[in-house]
Amino acid sequence: MKITKKQITEVNKPLLNQHKKDFKYLSDKLKSKGVNANKIVDTLKDYQIAIPSWALGAGGTRFGRFGYGGEPGDLFQKISDIGVVHALTQSAGAVSLHIPWDIPKDVKKIKKHADSLGIVFDAMNSNTFQDQKDQKHSYKYGSLCHVDKKVRKQAVDHNKEVIDYGVALGSKSLTVWLADGSNFPGQLNFRRALNNTLDSLKAIYKHLPKDWKLFIEYKPYEPNFYSMVIQDWGTSSLLAKELGPKAYTLVDLGHHLPNTNIEQIVGTLMSRGLLGGFHFNDSKYGDDDLTVGAIKPYQLFLIFNELVYGMANNTAKNPIPAWMIDASHNVKDPLEDLMQSLDAIETAYAKALLIDQKALEKAQMKNDVVACQNILKTAYNTDVTPILMEARRKSGAAMSPIDVYRTIDVRQALIDERGMDNAATGL
Ligand SMILES: [Mn+2]
């Protein structure tokens, strides 16, 4: 399944007339406020978000999984599917792999395939949260934190192997998320677990090539429900600081307790140059992995406000974070869900770029609370659809990606090609 430029030009055609009017209306309106809409269009046009290899098939819950048909069965097909999303949106030009499920049997072939679709290899992900067949030691009681040195070494060696696969593919970073923790009080000595984790991470860090980064993801609970070794951004950034300049904290939106002020965490991390990566999703209760922006779009906008401000006032030289969607698709077509997520991310980004930062600072310095809130709301309430459509038009994407996906019936074509029961192993 490959979508051609010609197909996209054809479907964009009937939308062009109205779009031109809409975009002109919005850019004139913004111009009167001193905002250059074309500049925002260009920023969005260049903005790329990685798709993880596990987001292309049906996810599921611990109770069940319902397939869609036409799901990718191997790494080659997963990259093909990202190619579809990228062709339609021109904003998903990267893939994030999960080892052991995505071990490339033929690196050259995989690289060539990705290259032909305009896809690069983003952060690699290791897995020490479940046991694989023929694995010598079990991770039942942890991996990098384990009380047994042999288990820790096995987990460290796995991470080194993941780095090596990444080097072969052209990736530049490793994301470590650990399920390590305890289910009952007394089960783990917190300090021993943390120290073991740090020692293990040091061994992994040593294996990183010069131009690589290490992202440390945190999570407050699940799969362990009493304690997680890396439970929050404080623990993650403490480890990153002890490891060295190539280590950073990774924020996954779903990895917070309800009502956590994530935008403040983002601001704080960026002010110290410690924010390395970002996993987008949305949630109502916990790590729900729902479509980005489905539940709390205003929070997403406030997070982007911090990201935009942080990138514009980058005193701590925070690198541009690695962006990735980390969601699970249980009742939607995964590719449609990804396109909805991309749309929500770009919408929040565009709206955050509309915030009048000068006026906001002025109001903050005067403690004019009402004005501060209004400045944010004015940006948030602006319909930025014409900006998103213009960015897509300029980059050769479909102006309305999901409509096109449905019009040419990509899912049916994938089912015809792969059948109903094709599915990848792994998550
Ligand atoms: Mn994540």
Distance 278 CA to ligand 1 centre (A): 8
Q: Which residues pair with 190 in a beta bridge?
A: none
Distance 272 CA to ligand 1 centre (A): 22
Distance 280 CA to ligand 1 centre (A): 8
Distance 274 CA to ligand 1 centre (A): 17
- Residue owning tokens 């009742």: 331
Query: How many other C-beta atoms are found inside a 10 Å radius of the C-beta of residue 349?
Result: 25
Distance 63 CA to ligand 1 centre (A): 21
Question: The tokens of 346 are what?
Answer: 């770009």
Distance 329 CA to ligand 1 centre (A): 14
Report pLDDT for 414. Answer: 96
Span of 304-308, 386-390, 407-411 with lowest mean pLDDT: 407-411
Residue 210 has pLDDT above 70, yes or no: yes
Distance 279 CA to ligand 1 centre (A): 5
Distance 252 CA to ligand 1 centre (A): 5
Distance 414 CA to ligand 1 centre (A): 27
Question: DSSP for 247-288?
Answer: EEEEEETTSS-TT--HHHHHHHHHHTT-EEEEEE-B-SSSS-
Query: How many other C-beta atoms are found inside a 10 Å radius of the C-beta of residue 391?
Result: 26
Distance 231 CA to ligand 1 centre (A): 13
Q: What is the pLDDT of residues 141-200, one digit of tens each?
A: 999 999 999 999 999 999 999 999 999 999 999 999 999 999 999 999 999 999 999 999
Distance 314 CA to ligand 1 centre (A): 25
Q: What is the pLDDT of residues 277-301, one digit of tens each?
A: 999 999 999 999 999 999 999 999 9
Distance 32 CA to ligand 1 centre (A): 41
Distance 277 CA to ligand 1 centre (A): 10
Distance 355 CA to ligand 1 centre (A): 28
- Residue owning tokens 């987990």: 155
Q: What is the pLDDT of residues 21-70, one digit of tens each?
A: 999 999 999 999 999 999 999 999 999 999 999 999 888 888 888 888 99
Distance 25 CA to ligand 1 centre (A): 39
Distance 45 CA to ligand 1 centre (A): 25
Report pLDDT for 425. Answer: 63
Distance 71 CA to ligand 1 centre (A): 22
Q: What is the pLDDT of residues 233-281, one digit of tens each?
A: 999 999 999 999 999 999 999 999 999 999 999 999 999 999 999 999 9
d(CA 145, CA 195): 8
Give the environment of ion ligand 1: residues with CB less than 5 A: 252, 279, 326
Distance 165 CA to ligand 1 centre (A): 20
Distance 132 CA to ligand 1 centre (A): 20
Distance 254 CA to ligand 1 centre (A): 8
Residue 426 has pLDDT above 70, yes or no: no
Q: How many helical (H) and strand (E) elements, i.e. helices and strands, does the chain have? A: 15, 11
Distance 13 CA to ligand 1 centre (A): 38
Q: What is the pLDDT of residues 371-381, one digit of tens each?
A: 999 999 999 99
Distance 326 CA to ligand 1 centre (A): 5
Q: What is the pLDDT of residues 66-105, one digit of tens each?
A: 888 999 999 999 999 999 999 999 999 999 999 999 999 9
Mean pLDDT value across residues 14-27: 98
Report pLDDT for 64. Answer: 84
Helix (H) or strand (E) holding 347: helix 334-353
Distance 217 CA to ligand 1 centre (A): 7
Distance 316 CA to ligand 1 centre (A): 25
Distance 172 CA to ligand 1 centre (A): 17
Beta strand spans in 300-403 (E): 322-325
Report pLDDT for 57. Answer: 87
Distance 129 CA to ligand 1 centre (A): 13
d(CA 108, CA 111): 5
Residue 114 has pLDDT above 80, yes or no: yes
Q: Taking the mean position of all CA atoms in its chain, how far away is CA 224?
A: 23
Distance 87 CA to ligand 1 centre (A): 25
Distance 227 CA to ligand 1 centre (A): 18
Distance 128 CA to ligand 1 centre (A): 14
Q: Which residues contact 294 (CB under 8 A, 6 or more apart)?
A: 282, 340, 344
